[in-house]
Structure 1
């Protein structure tokens, strides 16, 4: 995520200095441009889809369950809008689009995505096992059989891949990069050395968007205080994987697999939302602090132990890669 700094570029003067710095368009204008363009484009697309979205919302209200097509469409549009606007701004800034967190799926990144997905499945299953042993989770049998398992499993896998793409890119992609760049520039004016400026910029931005990620979950039905805290903390863990690799692919794999295993396989609530056409019929019981109640496993106090485990997994399995924020900041493998 290295900036395109060019020492041969002459200093900006007058009005130019308001909009451009030594590394191109100033971060604040990049962020504002992104927000304005994304809002306008998203509003136009959702206006076209208004009739369909209204029908789907009626289905959600009547059944209390999320349709897979609604989830897939909404998050695909959100990601497509964000990625398109970020690409257009990358042309203005003359930056590589991959600097914003989602680079080409080369073999190395495919492995990271796959490993993240494996850990997402494994840690969700570990959490469900812990809830079962604690006596606060009951499994009531299969809801799907035969080819329906493959059909709906595949559709939900696509839907949660779209969810992971949209949420990770909006929270830890383009905007994270730009805010980190802006904060680093402020730190540089205060006289801090470059490596420390980049470190400060990254983690201030990561902290802000992780807090925002947690707060936004408050709009979900059935969300709880522990659910909000766990969402914010896992946002920091995903930012940690970006710090080590310079890419969001590990986080996207983990995020998609965690949601898929939780919502489709185990059939439990995810931040209060229950998916249609899930594999298992499952319900919680007992103390809300332990079971998670309507929030689902993410509302259980046990999820905090899982988040600590995932932090250790990132620290032990993802090394600081060349070009990553960790490497640019001259940070040790810790």
Structure 2
């Protein structure tokens, strides 16, 4: 994701970022995206596509981490979207509108208020592949299902688990979009259990330092984001099993997303193997120390699965 400081807005920045990531782990294929901003032009889109950059991420202004430079209107970006449609790039949408007293909008209804924008974009650019990122509501699920094969949706592991009661007053479960009502969580679980091919895992894993999550004050709010990376696959297996969807695991975490992004499994690809765990307790104190201290989702809780190795 490109919402770094500074944001990744050019092809050169994205390629440098990819090089930094590959230096950490060259075995991973990193799919790079650009930050939708006024500096982005159709010419840059074609340049990025030729360099292997797969998408552009849209952040409405001020709704999530490092979104201060986000957009306020999509109409100005129609030439960029037309270039993306032509180049075969994916538009990744953070699906919320900013809170506003004038429109009675806040974190609980910001996602449903965004869905008309998604419908308009799809109608204007029907061949543009669009992913509504980290959906949290039944309204979003039904909207995506009603649209064509070029519109997909990512769902996080933590949104398959959390509701409003879990994050209200609990900084470690606070993310954007916020988890919603039990019926919304049920809708996410239902579409995963259905095995719908246009819904797939998006980790949205945010390793905010301990101080950023716990040290809220009258002048600074806690950082929005949940850290799931260290336990992601076992956590997803655990959650899917809890609502009878374990048989949909591979499609949800791998197959559906690969198909939408047109990244087929290559010959000799390594398959991750999960096995049942009798004593897999998530690190209760987190990882690292000082400014690198991060606390994972489900810290101190037990998971029923663990990564057991790799198989060809």
Q: TM-score range by the shorter chain?
A: under 0.3
Choose 1 or 2 for highest CA Rg. 1
Q: Structure 1 length as normaliser, TM-score?
A: 0.26
